[in-house]
Amino acid sequence: MKQHTANFDTKMKLIHGFSNKTRMQILECIKEEEKTVSQIIEETKGNQSNISQHLACLKGCGIIVGRNEGKYMYYSLRNQHIRDLLSMFDVVLEDVENDVACCDRHMD
């Protein structure tokens, strides 16, 4: 079956959403329950501007969703598939952790 370049480009955009330490910290932070920006900032020890930029990226990629309630915005994972994917990263990492830890070719 032939893959179209556009499919790969879209897939790479999705993977890019997971390829940043701060974004992964945010995703782990909201993996089990929705949280406000303030809660995410506190738990990740980030700053408002940086966290907001990463939340916008994750939301723009469709990885997370936001819900307004009063003056607060609550963020959560888009669905169970995203939660499963995050868990699968951990499962795969158990198998390849030593190799990944030694790999210095893909550090940004």
Map out the domains of the chain with their CATH numbers: 5-102 (1.10.10.10)
One-character DSSP codes across 19-83: SSHHHHHHHHHTSSS-EEHHHHHHHHT--HHHHHHHHHHHHHTTSEEEEEETTEEEEEESSHHHH
Sheet architecture: strand order including 35-36? 35-36, 72-77, 64-69
Chain center to CA of 30? 9
- Report pLDDT for 100: 81
Using the predicted structure, report yes or no on whether residue 108 has a pLDDT greater than 60: no
For 47-55, what is the mean pLDDT?
97
Q: Name the pTM for this structure.
A: 0.86
Mean pLDDT over the full length of the chain: 91
User: What is the torsional sign of CA 82, 89, 73, 39?
Assistant: positive
Q: Which two tokens stand for residue 69?
A: 């309630």
